[in-house]
Structure 1
Amino acid sequence: MEELLGDNTKFKLVDNDSTITNEDQLIRLLSRLKKDNFITETEYKLHKENCPLRPVMSAIKTVNYGLGKMLTSRLSHLRQSQYVIKDSSDFVTKLTNTKNVDKLMISFDVVSLFTNVPLTFTVDYILDQLYPVCSTNCLQLSKSKQCVDCKRRIGFQTLLEIATSKTHLSFNNKIYVQHDGVAMGAPLAPIIADIFMAYLETTLMDELISLGVCE
């Protein structure tokens, strides 16, 4: 565990527990987004008082757990990919329906997927899918002059950043913040990883098809 947390590219040692600060920031943001009708009353009521910090790998009842659950429902459609196999039955079906037998099947093993997901890149990719930058690029303007979609893009970006980059944990009386990758055990982690893999697979397959390697 010490070796894992010693990876400075993924974790850093901090001086204090930021639970209260993160919780206050989340409450203020949700109140503003509800006022702007960006989230519903039901989605807003995801906060509960006295949220304790749970053991290292559990995100249940942490500050951003409810937020992660809410965002998961909004992102679920982005994880779809024609190259994703649901289960072993789906795999058998695809093999059965394969007409050409003179094909070579290869697989790639992803090492430590969750901690190696490029978080900033994936968040930007998600935002581009949900809220493409408008033609006038008003993201550079003051909030009062931005269009509705750009305001929503910024608001959704903040929610994603809180739900993913505000992950801190304690181990051996030391507090760490995970500043890259996603935390295994967090509700948003699997879908963030799936979205990145769907992007990666599609990009690689397009290139392989163009080179004539795959059909």
Structure 2
Amino acid sequence: MAHKDTRHSATQSTPHNKTGSSFGVMYGLPKIHKSSIPLRPILSSYTTPNYKTAKFLATLHEPLTKNPNNLSNFLKFIENIILQDSDLYMASLDVETLFTNIPVNETIQIVVDRLFPTPDSAFNNFNSPDFRKLLELAVKDTAFVFNDEVYVQTDGVGMGSPLSCTMADIFKCHLEAYDNHSGAVSETITDLPEAFTAANAEG
């Protein structure tokens, strides 16, 4: 989610400026595997003022991107699938526009809660307020240029930031941990057996 920033002109800062930071640049890559060939938005952010901060923080967040549901050995996974009952099906689910749908404030709170379980906790010599501020500087209110207009991203993360994949993984791991703990299962997953039965009947 982004809105146009009329306070600045795209000519004030371009990625060709070698002497300092500049706005990020938004461009699209065609998804040729889909019939309508939509564009995947990519935010080139290596010239932005918060790029190195995001890159530094991404390495610190690595432990939060893992959970017991992560696939670490694909061959072992295939072996387990082969040994399963032949009446079972394997489904691959996709998240639509994952990066721009990541709730930034909620994910920042998840990170802070995990790394600082108590008010006086410390992590890599950071306290909780300072670390939160660094995260906010790294991922919030990112300015970028598209079609010679300046925009500011108001929520979600842009594909191209060093923290984008990390933030997405952290939020997904949080949801999976919540589902496992509470027993909550989404209606989409609950409806999968009926969908497979209907597909077999048609086939």
| Corresponding residue for residue 205 of structure 1 | 180
For 1:123 and 1:96, the matched residues in 2 are separated by 37
Contact residue 24 and residue 145 of structure 2 kept, 8 A: no
Identity of aligned residues (%): 31
Please give the secondary structure, in 1, of the residue aligned with 2:105: helix
1:64-119 per-position Cα deviation (integer Å, ceiling 9, x unaligned): 11001100111111001221224xxx233123135542544333210010000111
Question: How many Å apart are 1:190 and its aligned residue?
Answer: 0.6
Structure 1 residue 97 corresponds to structure 2 residue 72: no
**Higher mean Cα deviation, 149-158 or 106-115?**
149-158
Whichever residue aligns with residue 155 of structure 2, its letter is: D
How does 1:186-197 map onto structure 2 within 5 Å?
Answer: 186-197=161-172
Whichever residue aligns with residue 23 of structure 2, its letter is: L
Indicate which of 17, 23, 26 corresponds to 1:53. 23
**Greater helix percent: which structure?**
1
For 1:58 and 1:108, the matched residues in 2 are separated by 27
For 2:74 and 2:179, the matched residues in 1 are separated by 20
Residue-pair matches, total: 159
1:178-200 per-position Cα deviation (integer Å, ceiling 9, x unaligned): 11110110111110011111111
**Greater strand percent: which structure?**
2
Structure 1 residue 15 corresponds to structure 2 residue 6: yes
For 1:107 and 1:205, the matched residues in 2 are separated by 19
| Corresponding residue for residue 108 of structure 2 | 123
| Corresponding residue for residue 39 of structure 2 | none
Question: Gaps spanning 5+ residues in structure 1: where?
Answer: 1-9, 19-47, 135-146
Q: RMSD between aligned alpha carbons? A: 2.8
Contact residue 24 and residue 143 of structure 2 kept, 8 A: no
How does 1:58-207 map onto structure 2 within 5 Å?
Answer: 58-86=44-72, 90-97=73-80, 99-101=83-85, 103-134=88-119, 147=120, 149=122, 152-207=127-182
Question: How many Å apart are 1:208 and its aligned residue?
Answer: 4.2
For 1:72 and 1:17, the matched residues in 2 are separated by 29
Q: Relative to structure 1, is the Cα distance of residues 155 and 17 closer, same or farther in structure 2, using a 3 angstrom cutoff?
A: farther
Q: Relative to structure 1, is the Cα distance of residues 92 and 208 closer, same or farther in structure 2, using a 3 angstrom cutoff?
A: farther
Question: How many Å apart are 1:11 and its aligned residue?
Answer: 1.0
Question: Gaps spanning 5+ residues in structure 2: where?
Answer: 10-17, 27-42, 191-203
Please give the secondary structure, in 1, of the residue aligned with 2:61: helix
